[in-house]
Amino acid sequence: MPSYFRIPRLSILALLVLFTSACGPAPEAQTQNDPDKEEWAELFNGKDLEGWTPKIAHYEPGENFGNTFRVADGAIQVSYDQYTDFNESFGHLFWKDKYSHYRLVVEYRFIGTWLHDTPGWAYRNSGIMFHSQAPETMLKAQNFPISLEAQFLGGLGEGERHTMSLCTPGTEAYQNGVMLASHCTTSTSKTYDGDQWVTVELEVLGHDNIRHIAEGATVIEYQTPEIGGGTVDGFDPATKPDGQPLGEGYFALQSEGSPVEFRRVALLNLSGCMDATAKNYKSYFVNSDAAACTF
C-alpha cells in the first residue's frame, strides 16, 4: 500500500477514544452503586424449588412426601392430591439462608378444599415461620419448627378471620414490655374471603421490633422475641434453650392441610455495609455488617 494511505498510529488511538466515548460510559460507571436504590432479592424463581428444602412431620429433612411442595403455573403450590389422610403431616418449606434484619414480601392465596382429617383450626390456614431453627435440626417427628409465625388465614364466607396474626411455637414475644399470654395473638387485618391473592409483608429488626403488614397496613407489632413456651412437640431439647433471645433465623412457607399457593417471595436485606465511603453502602441498612464492605 502506498505510504500516503497509511493512517498515523496516533490518529487510530484518537478514533478509538472517540468511538468508546460515543458508545456510553465505562463499565465501572454503568454499575456504580446507588445507595438509595433498594435491592430486592426474588427468592422464588417461578420455575422450580431451587434454594428451598422441605421438612414434613414424620419425614426426614429434604423428603418432599406426596410431592406436597411443587411448582405449577408460576407459583409454589401446597397440594395434597397424593395424600390419603393428612395425619398431622405439618410441613414447612425452608429457604436456604438465615437473616436477622429484613423486609419480606409474600403473595399468597388459598385454593381448593382441605383434607378430611385436617384440624378445624387449620382450615384455610398457612403462614410463614421466621427466626426459625434450621430444618436439619428438626427431629423426624417434630410438628413445627421453633420459630415465630406470621399466620395466614383465609375467610370462610361469614364472620371475621384476620390474617397475619402472630403465633409462637416454642417461642414468646412482648408488646411494650409485657409478655403476650396467648399462643396466637390476633391481628387487626381485614378478612380476605375466597381465592383472592393477598400481599403481606414482614419488617423484622432482629430482636428489637417486628411488624406484620397486610395489604399495606400494619396489623400487629411486637418486640423482644425469645425461645420458650410450648405448642411444639417432638423436638430435640438442645434446640430449645428457653429464655434465649431470638434475633435471627431461617424462614419457611407452611403446609397445614389446606391447599395454598405462593407466587412471590421477595426479601430486602437490611443488614450490610453502613460505611458511606464503601462501594456497596446502602442508606436503608439498619444493621451494620462491616465485613461486607468493599472499597
Nine-digit cell string for 253:
412457607
Grid-cell match 396474626, residue found? 165
Q: Is residue 2 part of a domain?
A: no
Residue closest to 234 by CA, chosen among 294, 170, 155 = 170
Q: What total of structural domains would you count in the chain?
A: 1
Mean per-residue pLDDT, 245-253? 98
Confidence of residue 91 (pLDDT cuts 50, 70, 90): very high
Mean pLDDT rounded to a whole number for the chain: 91
Residue 53, domain CATH? 2.60.120.560
Q: Is residue 143 part of a domain?
A: yes
d(CA 25, CA 211): 42
> 112 and 162 in contact (C-beta within 8 Å)?
no
Q: Is residue 202 part of a domain?
A: yes
Residue 67's pLDDT is: 97
Residues in the chain, overall count:
295
d(CA 93, CA 71): 12
Nine-digit cell string for 89:
403431616
Domain holding 203, by residue range, is 41-272
Q: Does 6 score more than 70 pLDDT?
A: no
Q: pLDDT by residue (tens digit) across 154-207?
A: 998 889 999 999 999 999 999 999 999 999 999 999 999 999 999 999 999 999
Q: Is residue 282 part of a domain?
A: no
Grid-cell match 390476633, residue found? 186
d(CA 174, CA 161): 23
Residue 19's pLDDT is: 46
Q: Is residue 35 part of a domain?
A: no
Residue closest to 183 by CA, chosen among 236, 246, 124, 230 = 230
